Chain A
Amino acid sequence: MLAIRGLTVAFGRRPPAVRDVSLDLDAGQRLGIIGESGSGKTATALAIMGLLPEYARVTGSIRLDGTELVGLSDREMSGLRGDALSMVFQEPMTALDPTMTAGRQVAEAFRLHRDRDVGRARTAVIDMLAAVGFDDPDRIADSYPHQLSGGQRQRVVTAMALVNRPGLVICDEPTTALDVTVQATVLRVLDEVLDAAGASCLFISHDLAVVSQLCSSVVVMLDGEIVERGTTEQVFHRPQHPYAAGLVATARLDLLEPGTRLPTVADHLRGAS
């Protein structure tokens, strides 16, 4: 359903942030994108969403269900955003408007693309808030963002992204700002609603364990390029590229004897050269 070919994103005169990236995502598939800060994960996501600043130069092809997204006008793109594809951002406090109730923000996405009727929108919103695990969706719908906890806000953002049942949901570090116990809840909810909606998902994270829980396949990005791709099982158990091997080794604290020296990415890159 999503086919990216030769995607390159450049900002000004600097070397491209994303270089010749190609990837495919089937309907219902979940693909994790892992890499460190500056590796091009978020720039890739924003290119798909059409949310890059104007001065970014995007070349290559991004096809969603056969529609070419590269080169679409802002108006055409905003017709798709929130409907055919949507995004869950890292910081729920900045993704939500502090002056609007949670329910109205979820309703806005629905009324814009689906049905102007306020009553039917309210029903859809309450159903969606219940789907993301709220026992009291009516109270949540009438709350302002500041009245909600971080985990509740992130579930509201998830409800906004999924209320129109988009075919593709892009999650950019959706649980990075959350406490671990809250993260566990949000991940479980995300897993359930993605399944229920049958949505495909690009899941961006620097946390390899989180990716392993949610995604069936993974790509590893380094300096704007994909250096490793495969099933989650392949990439985490038999990584081929030395950088990917280093990243996996350094993240597997659970396999190490406490107090021992941690393997680093540099060890693996040195071993390879």
Chain B
Amino acid sequence: MTVAETLLQADHLTRVYATGRRRVRALDDVSLRVTRGQRLGVVGESGSGKSTLVRLLAGLDQPTSGTVGYAGRPVSGVPERRLGFLRSSVQLVLQDPRSSLNPRMRVDDIVAEPLRSPAVRRELGEIDRAVRVREVLDAVGLPADSMRRYPHEFSGGQRQRIAIARALAPSPEVLIADEAVSALDVSVRAQVLNLLMDLVAGLGLTLVFVSHDLAVVRHVCPDAVVLQGGRIVEAGPTLDLFARPRHAYTARLVAAIPSFRAR
């Protein structure tokens, strides 16, 4: 039996936002580990701390206390110029491709952007960016002539493919998808989810899939954690969370999923 290797690790993460006199504890003593090849769902409603957790795991924000580590190396407190290892290994796909893609950049520049950072270049060595852009656009099913076009020339589903291509550019090991299909129509959602699952399987990626949509998490992630008010209230195999929720909040979430009823 092999012990699964821990890639992402969060220990006792707390993040307090202070605005004026108000202090908001967005994340409260959250610990989790993501092992190589795992598909982990992070479920929660607005204000649960999902986005704060994502930002901390991706090294885009610093915890008030607690630590994030990647493959045994510390992330929290490390200056950006020495985070090349993280930037090349952990990539994000965000909710709204309309706001996460720069409208004034052409697709090839958008997709190549993660490869431009000096820290990432030190990590990856010399890469032929044009070749890499063609590879990842092909991987997400966009034609090669997409390269010279602008985001507004694409549909919502295609824009999300561009965002996925950008995330794949540095050949990451971990993909963090933050509500990546929430803004899409159902038919487009199915296509993008199929693409994500194919890529995760084909490239051996580790996936952290953040969503408010339990039905989607159940389909994509064998394991999940449930966040409420900045705390993890329950964690385990997703099907168990559905069938035998132990925490009252998980039970409420599961019961609230609109089910099909013909009357």
Residues of chain B with a CB closer than 8 A to A266's CB: 187, 191
Number of chain B residues close to chain A: CB under 8 A? 35
Binds B, one of A19-27, A63-71, A129-137, A229-237: A229-237
Q: Compute how far the CA of A259 lies from the CA of B253 in the bound complex, rounded to whole angstroms.
A: 21
**How many angstroms from the CA of A259 to the CA of B258 in the assembled complex?**
21
Q: Residue A36 contacts which of B187, B197, B214, B255 (CB distance < 8 angstroms)?
A: B187
- A184 at interface (Cβ–Cβ under 8 A)? yes
Q: A36-B187, A181-B253, A250-B186 are in contact. Are A258 and B238 (CB under 8 A)?
A: yes
With A181-B252, A210-B258, A252-B260 as contacts: A258 and B194 at CB distance below 8 Å? no
| Beta-carbon contact of B219 and A262 below 8 Å | yes
Minimal Cβ-Cβ distance residue in B for A237: B262
Task: Note all chain A residues with C-beta closer than 8 A to B187.
Answer: 36, 246-247, 250, 264-266
Q: Is B261 an interface residue (CB 8 A)?
A: yes
User: Nearest residue in A to B255 (C-beta to C-beta)?
Assistant: A184
Q: What 1/0 flags go to A214-244 for Cβ under 8 Å of B? A: 0010000000000000011100110000000
For B220, the chain A residues whose CB sits under 8 A away are 258-259
B200 CB to nearest A CB, Å: 10
Chain A hits for B215, CB < 8 A: 253-254
Would you call A259 and B197 a contact (CB within 8 A)? yes
A180 proximal to B (CB < 8 A): yes
Min CB distance A228 to B, Å, is 14
What separation, in Å, do the CA atoms of A263 and B219 have in the docked complex? 13
A29 touches B (CB below 8 Å): no
User: In B5-35, which residues have CB < 8 Å from any A CB?
Assistant: none
Q: Is A256 an interface residue (CB 8 A)?
A: yes
Q: Is the interface of A mostly helix, strand, loop or mixed?
A: helix
Max chain B C-beta neighbours (<10 A), residue from A36, A207, A256, A262: A262
- With a cutoff of 8 Å between Cβ atoms, the chain A residues found around residue B61 in the complex are none
Give the complex CA separation of A198 and B256 in angstroms: 26
Given the interface pairs A253-B219, A259-B220, the reply to whether A183 lies near B186 with Cβ below 8 Å is no
Q: Does chain A have a CB within 8 A of B45?
A: yes
Residue from the list A150, A181, A263 in contact with B256, Cβ < 8 A: A181
Tier of interface size on chain A: 35 or more
Partner of A254, one of B45, B186, B213, B260: B260
A179 touches B190 (CB 8 A): no
Q: Mark B233-252, 1 if CB is under 8 A from A, else 0.
A: 00000110000000000001
Can you name the residue of chain B whose Cβ is closest to the Cβ of A250?
A: B190
Chain A residues with CB under 8 Å of B252's CB are: 181
How near does chain B come to A251, taking the closest CB pair, in angstroms?
Answer: 5
Distance in angstroms from A232 CB to nearest chain B CB is 5
CA distance A181 to B250 in the complex (A): 10
15 A–B pairs (Cβ distance < 8 Å), ordered by A:
A179-B45, A180-B214, A181-B256, A187-B258, A209-B257, A212-B258, A233-B263, A236-B260, A246-B187, A254-B260, A258-B219, A258-B238, A262-B194, A263-B190, A264-B187
Chain A residues at the B interface, C-beta cutoff of 8 Å: 36-37, 150, 179-184, 187, 206-210, 212-213, 216, 231-233, 236-237, 246-247, 250-254, 256, 258-259, 261-266
Closest 9 CB pairs of A and B: A209-B258, A179-B45, A265-B187, A233-B262, A36-B185, A184-B256, A262-B190, A250-B190, A180-B256
Given A180-B256, A187-B258, A213-B261, 5 extra CB contacts under 8 A:
A236-B260, A251-B186, A254-B260, A264-B191, A265-B187
